[in-house]
Structure 1
Amino acid sequence: MTSPLVPFRAVVALLALTAAVSGAACDRPAPPRTVRSAPDSVEAQFRNLANAVEYVGDSSCVGCHAAAAASFAQHSMAKSFHPWAADGRVEQAMVEALRNAPSGYAYKVVDSAGALWQVETRPGDAAAPTHELRRRIDYVIGSGRLARTYLTEENGRLFQLPLTWYANHGWDFSPGYEINNARFSRVIPDRCIACHASYPTPAAHLEGKYPVVRPGIGCERCHGPGALHVATRRSSGRDSTALAAIPRAYDATIVNPARLPLDRRMDVCEQCHVHTSVAVLREQRTAFDFTPARQLEAQYAYFKNGGDIDLVSHADRLKQSACFRAAVQSEKPLECATCHNPHAAPPTRATRNQPCLSCHTGSALTARFTTASVKRTHAPAADCVGCHMPVVKERTVPHGTFSDHWIRVPGRDTPSATSVAGPIDPYFARDRTGPEGALYTAMGKVVFASLANDGKVFDEAATELAPLLAGDDAHPQAHFLLGVAHQMRGRQKEAAEALEKAVRLGDDRPDVLRALAQARLRLGDHSAARTLYERALAMQPALAWMRAEYADVLQWDGELADATREYAAALAEQPSLPAASFNLGLALLAQQQVATASTALLKAVALEPAYATALDALLQVEGSDTRVRQLTRVPSPLPMVRSAARGPAAFGIRAGTSATVQFTNTPPNGFVLVFAPDGTLLLAVPTNSGGTVEWDARGGDGRVLGPGLYRAEVQARGMTAPLPSAWFGFLRK
């Protein structure tokens, strides 16, 4: 056997497809926004879409638009993001902890000093009987009509918490956590904040950290930046009463969605109400660039799963309705705002049918039907929405339902699956038939492959992207994703070439530089890798996980004092990085600083109890970069910390007798996969006939692995999760 049974693990950091550069605070200048292409004829009508116009916040709107602001405040959008406060609490007390079976962790919510905390324990784990981590609930995402999920703040950076409050159920795991428990480490991406809060001021190149973030969706989400409009109105010298008395006229200082073509009005809503499995930003776009009047398809390329009957957009479902098609050319077409007017109180169950009755009058329905039972169900007081827009299960949100916006006759009309043969299906027509359609579809496949951990799709995407980008100088992000695909296929030379092309074309974001540094590192060029890391960190010093990787390289190169300094800086920025704490401990051990090393290692195990197994498998490696002369076990500096009893037949790691690492109790015809802490697959060691397997400590590139923390996992056909695994640590001498 020559290849692992599973494809390469995705490195999430390589797929940070956005750079946080835009947004503005009310009281200070904003960082420059991305310079966009010339506006089209629709955009050109509105002067506030110029790059220099800033956002001002809802407080600047209320003086003249008090009634509209009061109505909007009742809508869920106005409550989509806000600090948690005891006086706004809707959550009930939690009676029993919820256990996450795949990871073994359990979670509960506790009250303490007027705040709510989510607490993690590990019940039944003899190695961590006292394990407890707790994180305070600092922010709420969601109005609570369907659910409220929670964020905690660490040094200004926002992380999602494992438990969500569902209105129809109570406490349960946040979406995705039952399958992949991210614990307290799931960073909130810009895409989430862009749709749940009103244009925050982001930290450059650092998702999840926002020096200024306003609560909820505000006026400027649908009307665009307001500074020009406010300044123009205030310069007139009239008070709000006088301004309100002015007859309505065309005002080019602010976007009025009512003056937009229908498709652009729908885009205003769809900017946050499209939920595809893959979203790729167009070249030179960021998550905060979209403004009303612009085309959404010029901002994102969306892709849903191929062959799915996928409810990805309420607006898309509405467009499939006979009601929409019949009215699309009329003076008042059917659209989102027909039923969801943000400037009026939200409809009640009694009033939500009024838009239907404006066309389907009671007398017309009575005349149309002849059967008495059908006449009764179509009486003026009947619930049109409940029948013709049935409630369906929300596939991505546990315990969630919504009204399907495909208006249809129940039992007669049925949805059809997409006919696309590939793994993803473009949402916009331009990505099916346009001149860049094949390019963006291949880019979408790289993202899909990373999310789905699908090596076959990585191969497919790279095969498609490479010829499309031959001689291309206009798509640096596409070159970046080609580099990612090659990197995840283990083709570091091709990865480096594609990533270098991306940088030459101007995509020198820290994520791109980091990916190139990783490729250079695996090609043995430590000097180039270090320079790239230093360049990335100069752009954003708060990239703690990236700084910890830089420290790993320094430790590998034997510069232990510098590595120690960089680990400490990374942990000062983000104290919750367990691998950085562990590797700091290894660097301190190598400097004979046992007491301080013990403190760092103890903190690492407190954050990640599974690391206790590495304390039993600390291995000191002596030799060159390509050959181990001697390999010995280092006694644990924390003898009081014990890993769980594994039994004589359990998978284990130890020093061999001939300068090798031994993996014990392996199954036949399988592999021992060795991963970096971030999940990057480094090599696969065949188990052949099983039992004790010898490994020469070299990675897939033929070089001895550097000092640091690693995880080994056993895989063989027929084995089911949880798969046997253990951590180990290398020290270099």
Structure 2
Amino acid sequence: MRRGWGPAVAVAALSLAACGGEGRQPSHAAAAPPEPPSPSSPPFRNVATPTAYVGDAACAACHTSAAAVYRQHPMAQSFHQLTPPVAPLESPLYNAATGFSYTVLRVGSQWYQEEYLEGPAGKRLHDLRRRMDFVMGSGHVGRTYFTAQNGRLFQLPLTWYRQHGWDFSPGYEINNARFDRVLPDRCLACHGSYPRPIPFLEGKYAALPPGIGCERCHGPGALHVAERQAGGARRPAAGREYDNTIVNPARLPLERRLDVCEQCHVHTTVTVLREGRDAFSFLPSQPLSDQVAFFKVAGSIDIVSHADRLRQSACFIATRGTSRPLECATCHDPHQPPPALPERSRPCVTCHAAAALAQRLPPAARRDHIASADCVGCHMPRVRERVPHSVFTDHWIRVVTAPLPPQPPRRGAAPIEAYFERDRAGPEAAIYQGMGAVVYASLANDGRVLAKAAAALQGALGDDTTRGEAHFLLGLAYRQMGKTDAALRALEQAVRIDSNRPDRLQALARVYERAGRPAAAIAALYRRALELQPALAWIRADYADFLHAQGWELRADAESAYRTALAEQPSLDVAWFNLGVLLTEEGRLPAASDAFRNAVQLNPFLAEALSDLVEIGTTPHAVLTVRTLGAPLETMPVRARPPGAVQLVVTIVQGRPAAVFFNLPRRSSVEILEPDGTVVRALPAGDQSTLTWDLYTERGDPVAGGLYRVRVTRRGAAGQPETLQMFSIGIVRRPVG
């Protein structure tokens, strides 16, 4: 079960997946004056010393009325277990990229999202259901849904949007992840209270409290509760000016108050966690820039990036050095539900009274600026954003109809730019700029930008031996570029810095495999990763693939690893397929058919690889025979391939077994890939309509048994490879001689 980029960049993947449509606008902001130096925060003991979270119920014991009111706030309803009702879906939604259709249905008291594939005459070739277990979103903008698989949460393909109704979840129309998108920690860090995470296992938690709770803004509450329960007093202890057992954001300097909001209300294309931080490590009163590095598309500010838009406002710039600055809490009381429409302009008139405006404005404009006018509706209009079917309030307060000021000159030609000043010019700036650029280019699948970003990050790191995450990202970039030696060096450095990270160990094991390193060294990396977190099913499935490729002696270990991985995460379709291949190689055909049936039930497109399984007979170093096997299942949802599609036959070419691809477009090339995109063999382009593969890997070894993708490409007008066709093949490898 080969995978590409791991949890380290999952949040960036989600951000990029949502790209497209309206909403990202040029900033056009005049250069703001330098920010005044921010005074330090007063000390709070629940931040300075390790303190446990206690949950909202402990807060409500004393703050009963405030807690009751806050429960009506959209933030308090931002994540919870599904409770009916669920809005009906009138007609199924069709995903053109995959051919799947989706609907929402109720079975008894449970709600499900269902995927199906239609064949000729409307006959269903495939259907798959997943229960809707959790909801993210209060419904003010929308609600997206998650299913639990052995306690691990996966996003579902359909989201309900307040402005539109049901449609695909953000990014799914472009890249349909079906039921396999794990809930990233960073998403839950903004849409919920801090859970009790399970180490190295995103999407699965030992405790999962609902909504955004009190402690997200006030910090962990165990110390505060303990001292209150011990002393009973509600005022500060003698000699203290304030209660320092719990953060009160009102006592923080402006920048730290803004950080409390900006931890979730800055929206950028790429988010990179600082070295040593995780998605849940930020605490109120700490500088947010110590937690993350934000990078946005250069020269633009997302409408949904409320705090960034607010910082462009003349009202904010003019007041930020005063005792009454315009800030988030000026208009938004975090303890109260949003105000009704007539009330939301009240903060505006504290500075912009109607009488004063009447003296400044021409007569024609005065009627729009009476005391009851809706200031927000005109000066902070609702704008359609990249999130599908959604509109958001533009927090850049201005005269919207006035000409925009000239856009300040860009610094350089980088596709992204830093949000925090420390990432523009600080001592670590070049490293974090390189990390952000690598993530951006990798997820945007832009090879040229990735090469530049990797070179920049390599140069910024120099001889560094402390920044494990930067070396890890660099290694992943080089691996994606096919630069095995460079990837190996970077990933070895990442593991030397911290050998207790399963994702780094797995990535290094994969590169060791490609480099032909000793099997014992590779196995040791996999075993160490799984010792750290046995529930990482995708790594265990990778380990099973590795054991499977080693030969007959390790087949029992490989089968055990496949079955353990599938018990933890039964939705791993490639692992089911490769288990079926292993069982076929052993002659256990009924068990193999069961495994293949599970694979096809999860992913009907794998039936294409089963329709003509390729069997090769090999010694450890040579392919001696080749033939096709009959389909292992009596019925399969195989759709007819279009006329002119590339075809594959196995035969003998010049006395040697081979697979021949024919009907190729001229000047096209063929790549045989593992399911995660790792190149197994590249066949160079030519003018002929056929290409021959000798069934060996790039390193000259016989190809291992398992599932492979075939990608047919041709250079486009800009010189970039364009994918013309992709299809799957299955290979069974038997020992001979």
Quote how far apart the aligned CAs of 1:127 are: 12
Q: Secondary structure at the match of 2:729?
A: strand
Q: Secondary structure at the match of 1:181?
A: coil
Match of 1:400 in 2: 390
Contact 1:64 1:244 in 2 (8 A): no
Q: Secondary structure at the match of 1:660?
A: strand
Distance in structure 2 (CA, Å) of the matches to 1:299 and 1:177: 29
What letter corresponds to residue 615 of structure 1 in structure 2? L
**Which of 234, 250, 269 is the equivalent residue of 1:258?**
250
Bigger mean CA offset, 453-462 vs 211-220: 453-462
Match of 2:169 in 1: 174
Match of 1:22 in 2: none
**Which of 71, 75, 96 is the equivalent residue of 2:69?**
71
Report the CA distance shift for 1:721/1:503 in structure 2 as closer, same or farther (over 3 A). Answer: closer
Quote how far apart the aligned CAs of 1:201 are: 0.7
Match of 2:53 in 1: 55
Report the CA distance shift for 1:716/1:361 in structure 2 as closer, same or farther (over 3 A). Answer: same
Distance in structure 1 (CA, Å) of the matches to 2:62 and 2:292: 34
Match of 2:399 in 1: 409
Distance in structure 1 (CA, Å) of the matches to 2:311 and 2:299: 20
Q: Secondary structure at the match of 2:174?
A: coil
Report the CA distance shift for 1:52/1:246 in structure 2 as closer, same or farther (over 3 A). Answer: closer
1:474 correspondence with 2:475: no
1:391 correspondence with 2:382: yes
Quote how far apart the aligned CAs of 1:417 are: 7.5
**Which of 528, 531, 541 is the equivalent residue of 1:538?**
531
**Which of 447, 450, 453 is the equivalent residue of 1:458?**
450
Match of 1:381 in 2: 372
Report the CA distance shift for 1:728/1:126 in structure 2 as closer, same or farther (over 3 A). Answer: farther
Distance in structure 2 (CA, Å) of the matches to 1:675 and 1:520: 17
Match of 2:713 in 1: 715
What letter corresponds to residue 385 of structure 1 in structure 2? V
Distance in structure 2 (CA, Å) of the matches to 1:680 and 1:129: 33
Bigger mean CA offset, 284-293 vs 611-620: 611-620
1:548 correspondence with 2:541: yes
**Which of 524, 539, 558 is the equivalent residue of 2:516?**
524
Quote how far apart the aligned CAs of 1:507 are: 5.1
**Which of 96, 100, 112 is the equivalent residue of 1:117?**
112
Contact 2:711 2:723 in 1 (8 A): no
Q: Percent identity?
A: 50
Quote how far apart the aligned CAs of 1:403 are: 0.9
Match of 1:592 in 2: 587
Contact 2:488 2:512 in 1 (8 A): yes
Match of 1:34 in 2: none
Report the CA distance shift for 1:204/1:447 in structure 2 as closer, same or farther (over 3 A). Answer: same
Distance in structure 2 (CA, Å) of the matches to 1:699 and 1:449: 28
Match of 1:232 in 2: 227
Q: Secondary structure at the match of 1:465?
A: helix
Distance in structure 2 (CA, Å) of the matches to 1:93 and 1:14: 34
Quote how far apart the aligned CAs of 1:725 are: 2.3
**Which of 422, 425, 439 is the equivalent residue of 2:414?**
422
**Which of 427, 432, 439 is the equivalent residue of 1:447?**
439
What letter corresponds to residue 480 of structure 2 in structure 1? M
1:353 correspondence with 2:354: no
**Which of 42, 45, 62 is the equivalent residue of 2:43?**
45
Match of 2:34 in 1: none
Contact 2:615 2:626 in 1 (8 A): yes
Quote how far apart the aligned CAs of 1:129 are: 2.9
Distance in structure 2 (CA, Å) of the matches to 1:202 and 1:116: 27
Contact 2:303 2:383 in 1 (8 A): no
1:329 correspondence with 2:321: yes
Distance in structure 2 (CA, Å) of the matches to 1:547 and 1:555: 12
What letter corresponds to residue 549 of structure 1 in structure 2? D
Match of 1:81 in 2: 79
What letter corresponds to residue 520 of structure 2 in structure 1? S
TM-score, L = length of structure 2? 0.90
Contact 2:236 2:242 in 1 (8 A): no
Deviations 1:121-151 (A, max 9, x none): 0123699833110011100000001100000
Quote how far apart the aligned CAs of 1:691 are: 2.4
Deviations 1:191-246 (A, max 9, x none): 011111111011110111112110000000000000000001110145xxx77999
1:370 correspondence with 2:362: yes
Q: Secondary structure at the match of 1:569?
A: helix
Report the CA distance shift for 1:418/1:137 in structure 2 as closer, same or farther (over 3 A). Answer: farther
Match of 2:94 in 1: 99
What letter corresponds to residue 404 of structure 2 in structure 1? T
Quote how far apart the aligned CAs of 1:522 are: 0.3
Contact 1:618 1:730 in 2 (8 A): yes
Report the CA distance shift for 1:341/1:182 in structure 2 as closer, same or farther (over 3 A). Answer: same
Quote how far apart the aligned CAs of 1:336 are: 0.4
Contact 2:119 2:125 in 1 (8 A): no
Distance in structure 2 (CA, Å) of the matches to 1:566 and 1:285: 32
Q: Secondary structure at the match of 1:451?
A: helix
Report the CA distance shift for 1:283/1:650 in structure 2 as closer, same or farther (over 3 A). Answer: same
Deviations 1:62-101 (A, max 9, x none): 1221232223222111110000112xx2x43112100000
**Which of 472, 478, 486 is the equivalent residue of 1:494?**
486
Distance in structure 2 (CA, Å) of the matches to 1:454 and 1:674: 20
Quote how far apart the aligned CAs of 1:721 are: 9.2
Match of 2:28 in 1: none
Q: Matches of residues 507-518 of structure 1 in structure 2 within 5 Å? A: 508-518=500-510
Listed as ranges, the gaps of 5+ residues in structure 2 are 12-37
Match of 1:727 in 2: 728
Report the CA distance shift for 1:322/1:507 in structure 2 as closer, same or farther (over 3 A). Answer: farther
Bigger mean CA offset, 65-74 vs 489-498: 65-74
Q: Secondary structure at the match of 2:491?
A: helix
Distance in structure 1 (CA, Å) of the matches to 2:48 and 2:122: 60
Quote how far apart the aligned CAs of 1:703 are: 3.3
Alignment length (residue pairs): 696
Quote how far apart the aligned CAs of 1:433 are: 0.5
Q: Secondary structure at the match of 2:561?
A: helix
What letter corresponds to residue 693 of structure 2 in structure 1? W
Q: Matches of residues 191-270 of structure 1 in structure 2 within 5 Å? A: 191-237=186-232, 250-270=242-262
Match of 1:281 in 2: 273
Contact 2:3 2:675 in 1 (8 A): no
Distance in structure 1 (CA, Å) of the matches to 2:695 and 2:264: 48
Q: Secondary structure at the match of 1:668?
A: coil
Report the CA distance shift for 1:608/1:139 in structure 2 as closer, same or farther (over 3 A). Answer: same
Distance in structure 2 (CA, Å) of the matches to 1:508 and 1:487: 21
Q: Secondary structure at the match of 1:412?
A: coil
Deviations 1:133-172 (A, max 9, x none): 0011100000001100000100100000000011111110
Contact 1:128 1:609 in 2 (8 A): no
Report the CA distance shift for 1:260/1:65 in structure 2 as closer, same or farther (over 3 A). Answer: same
What letter corresponds to residue 726 of structure 1 in structure 2? F
What letter corresponds to residue 369 of structure 1 in structure 2? L
Quote how far apart the aligned CAs of 1:261 are: 0.8
Distance in structure 2 (CA, Å) of the matches to 1:524 and 1:268: 49
1:150 correspondence with 2:140: no
1:161 correspondence with 2:156: yes
Report the CA distance shift for 1:152/1:417 in structure 2 as closer, same or farther (over 3 A). Answer: farther
Q: Matches of residues 611-650 of structure 1 in structure 2 within 5 Å? A: 611-624=606-619, 627-641=622-636, 643-646=638-641, 649-650=644-645
TM-score, L = length of structure 1? 0.91
Contact 1:665 1:691 in 2 (8 A): yes
What letter corresponds to residue 260 of structure 2 in structure 1? V
Q: Secondary structure at the match of 1:446?
A: helix
Report the CA distance shift for 1:142/1:100 in structure 2 as closer, same or farther (over 3 A). Answer: same
Deviations 1:242-294 (A, max 9, x none): 77999995111001101111011000001011111111111001011001001
Distance in structure 2 (CA, Å) of the matches to 1:247 and 1:154: 53
Contact 1:16 1:511 in 2 (8 A): no
Match of 1:581 in 2: 576
